[in-house]
Amino acid sequence: MNSLALDLHPPARRRRTLTWFPFAALSPSLLVLSVFFALPMGMMIGMSFTQTETFSPTLDHYQRFFTDGLSIAGFCRTALMSLLVAISVTVLGYPVAYFLARSTTRWRAVVFALALAPELAGVVLRTYGWLIILEDRGFINDLLLHLGLISSPLPLSKNLFAVVVGLTHVVLPFGILSLMTSIQGIDPNLERAAQMLGASRLAVIRTIVLPLSVPGIVSSMLIAFTMAASAYATPALLGGAGFKVLATMIYEQVLFYIDWPFASVMAMSLLLMMLAISFVGVRYESRRRSRASVSSGGER
């Protein structure tokens, strides 16, 4: 009896050690986050449910959000813009990521530096760059007017198009990195095997690389979507008054209308949008992975 208890004891204790230690490692960052993140967040949530004059709980701000028309439109604009950025980042980034994952030439280092270089210049700087190119009196319109191809400037700025272009530029390196990591995880012999079986380069990408890099595609879309939805500077400068998104609208509420409770409601809607998208993405990934592990249940 005694010896049995002795036998059972050590593994149980070891397991307990393993469970608390990782949490202990979290504590410094938990502390910082709770003071500078959870606390303001709580205040924001509280504010969104509070009457401005009487400080009594209310749903008035939410009602206004759903009925004034402008707010819902802003919400939809933000979602649409983020989705378009997610798609364009992933589509544009994929070939670059594939090159970076597979190339062994000296060009790899050059392309890698070029792909990440945009992050060295600040967001505002890059956005002004795009403004110079896309404005009514900007480079593209000037050129086309000069060549006589158009008679009045094309609407290239202060709209969805300009914001998507600018944000794609900002977010692209993150998309490339996450796609690259995923493609690097695919055994290059799989591509060679497919080639030996008669698959053209394009067929190899379609039948082998794309399906196996789905996790990378999902994470690239998630990163791009959340970065785009929360971006302020680029929509503010390239969208302006013509294309307002939640981030710029929140700023307006706080600074011009000094309506903190309503700004909080908008912030809540933005937060929930991103949480919902992340949840869908993570859920998709974990279901895919559990399917894979169910099929790996057999002997190895």
Partner 1 sequence: MNALDIELVSVSKSYASMAVVRDIDLAIPQGEFVSILGPSGCGKTTTLNMIAGFTAPSRGDIRIKGRSQVRVPPERRNIGLVFQNYALFPHMTVTENVAFGLKMKGVRREEAETTVKSALRSVHLEGMGKRYPRELSGGQQQRVALARAIAPRPSVLLLDEPLSNLDLKLREAMRIELKDIQQQLGMTFVYVTHDQEEAMAMSDRVVVMWQGAIAQEGQPAALYREPNSRFVADFIGKSNILAVASTATQAAHLELAVGDGLMLKARKTELSAAIRYCSIRPESIAVLPSGVGGNGFANLLNATVRRVVNLGAAFEIDADLGSDVRLHVLLRATRASVPPSVGDAIRLGIEDADIQPLSA
Residue 200: CB minimum distance to partner 1, A:
6
Give me the residues that bind partner 1 (CB under 8 A), please: 187, 189-190, 192-200, 203, 207-208, 211-212, 292, 295-300
Q: How far apart are CA 266 and CA 71, in angstroms?
A: 8
User: 141 or 213: whose CB is closer to partner 1?
Assistant: 213
Residue 181: CB minimum distance to partner 1, A:
17
Q: How far apart are CA 289 and CA 19, in angstroms?
A: 23
User: 200 or 286: whose CB is closer to partner 1?
Assistant: 200
Residue 29: CB minimum distance to partner 1, A:
35
φ/ψ bin of 200: left (φ > 0), alpha (ψ from -120 to 50), beta (otherwise)? beta
Q: How far apart are CA 281 and CA 225, in angstroms?
A: 11
Per-residue CA distances from 6 to 14, 16, 17, 288 (Å):
13, 16, 17, 42
Do the beta carbons of residue 288 and residue 219 sit within 8 Å? no
Residue 105: CB minimum distance to partner 1, A:
13
70-102 and 260-295 helices cross at what angle (nearest 10)?
A: 40
User: 54 or 295: whose CB is closer to partner 1?
Assistant: 295
Residue 287: CB minimum distance to partner 1, A:
15
User: 3 or 189: whose CB is closer to partner 1?
Assistant: 189
Do the beta carbons of residue 30 and residue 21 sit within 8 Å? no
User: 64 or 108: whose CB is closer to partner 1?
Assistant: 108
